Amino acid sequence: MRFATPPGQAGDDAVQWLLRRNCSMTPTQFVAFYLSLCAWSLAIAGASWLRGATLVVPFVGVELLAVGIALVVYARHATDREQMILRPGRLTVECTLGRHTDKVEFAPAWVRVEPERGERSLIELSGQGKRISIGRFVRPDSRRALADELRSALRRCAAAPAQPAQRTTS
């Protein structure tokens, strides 16, 4: 499997796909970067103020505010992800975009895996009156491979014999 964590590595017999953004910095690193940027900018603005260039400070303030807003917008989506967990009898799909999380559960035997529109579009999972789109964090040319891998795992899960209920005697 190319995209999935095989059974046993996730701690149980589940197959897991975790797709997320390729971010170069974590939100904590962004805060540290922004604070260092503020310190340097305010130090330079303070030195300019002492030398008589009083208009530098308001412009530095506007600049730091604009950069701060841009970093907040970026950091809000830095932890976006799509997670699919396939267990015997259940496929759980969770998509987190910003502060919004969609969670859908399917019976593996009834899931359809298809492109939304064309060959390189997002992958739509549907079944039992529910639907969700995945593949935002996979290159468009790799989405077909992800869909094929997901279909194959769903077929194996649906074909696996149901485990008999264990009896306990007392």
Q: How high is the pLDDT of residue 8?
A: 64
Which structure tokens are listed for 97? 């975009």
The CA distance from 124 to 83, in Å, is 14
Question: pTM of the predicted model, to two decimals?
Answer: 0.73
Residue 168 is given by DSSP the state: -
The CA distance from 87 to 80, in Å, is 23
Q: How high is the pLDDT of residue 170?
A: 42
Query: What are the pLDDT tens digits along the chain (170 aa)?
Result: 788 887 765 557 789 999 998 888 777 888 899 999 999 999 999 999 999 999 999 999 999 999 999 988 887 888 899 999 999 889 999 999 988 999 999 999 999 999 878 777 899 999 999 999 999 999 999 999 999 999 999 998 877 765 544 444 44
Q: How high is the pLDDT of residue 6?
A: 75
Q: How high is the pLDDT of residue 23?
A: 80
Q: How high is the pLDDT of residue 149?
A: 93
Please tell me whether residue 13 adopts helix, strand or coil conformation: coil
